[in-house]
Amino acid sequence: MPFPVSDAPLDGGWHPPAPNWLNRYAASSLRAEAELGVPLGTFLPGEPLAALQWVARSDDLAAELGWPADWADDQALQVFGGNGTWPGMAPMATVYSGHQFGAWAGQLGDGRALLLGEVDTPLGPREIQLKGAGQTPYSRRGDGRAVLRSSIREFLCSEAMHGLGIPTTRALAVVASPQPVRRETIETAAVVTRVAPSFIRFGHFEHFAHSGRPRHHEALQALLDFVITHHFPHLAEQPQPALALLDEVVRRTANLMADWQAVGFCHGVMNTDNMSILGLTIDYGPFGFLDAFDPDHICNHSDTQGRYSWNNQPQIGHWNLRALAQALLPLIPEAEADPRAVIEVLERYEQVFIEAMNKRWRTKLGLLSEQPGDNALCIDFLRLLAAGKVDFTIAFRRLAGFDTSAAVDAARNAPVRDLFLDRKAFDAWAVRYLERLRAESSVDTERADRMNRSNPLYVLRNHLAETAIRQAQRGDFSEVQRLHRLLRQPFTEQAGCDADAGFPPEWAQSIEVSCSS
């Protein structure tokens, strides 16, 4: 039998350390609703699932939260499956709006997510959220559930991105239930427990800016104040706090886009409601890591126009920031008379992104300094990859072993050279690379070490995730757990894992991922 829902809280078991669960955002919602008559969301319990079982857990994350080694007991299983709450929790689905595939979609909201609350941790306050805990007022005719397939992908990828050093929401656990869920076929239900300093999105601001209701300007101001107070307190004394926040988000988003591009990560659904105000990777759906390099690769089968291709991600980041700026305009009264300050902040994005991207490409090539011609050297290497459909991750990893004593030696540099069908084109580039390395007196062993700490050996390729999913759907979660352990250390060679770092099998080309989850 499932545990009782939130009107009969669980007790008698382990609880997080005092002061137990907080919900500052929920408190803000209550105040806004009481004072402004404007709800920021809806309080409601999860819908129970039967026969819950752990699929995988991130004990590393639990330790970072300050939780004990035995945190994952039977009561925790029920709480993180949406079947009950601990005292102090106030489950809440938040409301937001947004642009989806470039078109205004109106009100959206947490259609299958519940914010359990915020807990104090050694890392600072962290929000705990369930994805797949049942219907909410924002489900838009959906069932509010997540399926095992997509839940495993989110768990593995969010923790893999953390291992890569890329800002992201985290995943504490996945729990599964045999309850059927209909998508294209009948699948089974699962719930992911997600952790982040905040799950507030661009779309939260858009919701109150575009509704046109009389009190929503005050709610927009309350949301701005909340975000600055709790996440950007250094902006509180700025003469134009909304503009200062926009500037902060511009910089964070530009750096996040550079992070994604550098590891060949494709998000797949960069709608404004999937953009974090903190610059985190959020909402793992039809994502993918590049195999054979194609700048125009589209990882989302539903993206028929290629709006969110790998090559388009940086400009879409900018597009989304313009939408956020539009939402913040009511809080920047000076902008009505003179919009130049807002325009200047948005224009800063390109400069920040280019500098961040060039720095990451230099690092991936093992370059210590910045010199004229570096950008062309990096871009030409990417062109070589694209021309030969060379595996993105493997190419950069093998380049670490480039031997500067023999730039065009077919034997010594064969591991990387033989990736390219056009050997002459690679040899011509290799001569330039050799000259560039010698210009800064680069030492091969030292450069190889630097490059291997920047270019991952392991990423969550679709075929690796698919193999784990198929095994999990048969009731065996061991491959999910093994991949999780592997991806915690993506730069370090691990015994017995050669296949995980190898080329994808031919059948991987038939894998399709879409917005369905």
Residue 342 is encoded by which pair of tokens?
């807002």
Tell whether 15 is covered by a domain: no
CA 304, 300, 310, 191 dihedral sign is: positive
Provide the mean pLDDT of the chain.
91
pLDDT of residue 356: 98
Boundary (domain end) residue, out of 200, 217, 232: 200
Tell whether 460 is covered by a domain: no
Tell whether 483 is covered by a domain: no
Q: Is the pLDDT of residue 117 over 80?
A: yes
Mean pLDDT confidence for 471-482: 98
Label residue 192 by pLDDT band (50, 70, 90): very high
Label residue 157 by pLDDT band (50, 70, 90): very high
Evaluate the omega torsion of the peptide bond into residue 4 and state whether it is cis, within 30 degrees of 0: no
Report the distance separating Cα 61 and Cα 472, nearest Å: 22
Identify whether residues 182 and 236 lie together within a single domain: no
Identify whether residues 48 and 166 lie together within a single domain: yes
Work out the burial of residue 478: count CB atoms within 10 Å of its CB; fewer than 13 is exposed, 13-18 middle, 19 or more buried. Answer: exposed
Q: Which range of residues forms the domain containing residue 383?
A: 367-452
Q: Is the pLDDT of residue 434 over 70?
A: yes
Boundary (domain end) residue, out of 157, 178, 200: 200
Label residue 513 by pLDDT band (50, 70, 90): confident
Q: Are 62 and 172 in contact (CB under 8 A)?
A: yes
Report the distance separating Cα 196 and Cα 305, nearest Å: 32
Identify whether residues 263 and 160 lie together within a single domain: no
| Phi, psi (degrees; rounded to nearest 5) at 466 | -65, -40
CB atoms within 10 A of CB 514: 17
Beta bridge partners of 188: 180
Q: Are 95 and 128 in contact (CB under 8 A)?
A: no
Identify whether residues 194 and 213 lie together within a single domain: no
Calculate the alpha carbon distances from 59 to 69, 85, 149 in Å: 7, 20, 21
Mean pLDDT confidence for 308-327: 98
pLDDT of residue 120: 87
Percent above pLDDT 70 for the chain: 91
Instruction: Compare 324 and 13 and report the one with higher pLDDT.
Output: 324
pLDDT of residue 87: 83
Contacts of 129 (CB under 8 A, 6+ apart): 113, 114, 115, 116, 193, 194, 195, 196, 199
Report the distance separating Cα 23 and Cα 32, nearest Å: 14
Give the count of domains, the chain. Answer: 3
Q: Is the pLDDT of residue 10 over 90?
A: no
Tell whether 516 is covered by a domain: no
Identify the active-site residue in 273, 283, 291, 303: 273
pLDDT of residue 189: 98
Residue 171 Cα to chain centre, angstroms: 11
Q: Is the pLDDT of residue 326 over 90?
A: yes
Identify whether residues 227 and 336 lie together within a single domain: yes
Would residue 296 show up in a list of annotated catalytic residues for this protein? no
Tell whether 1 is covered by a domain: no
Q: Is the pLDDT of residue 320 over 90?
A: yes
Report the distance separating Cα 416 and Cα 399, nearest Å: 6
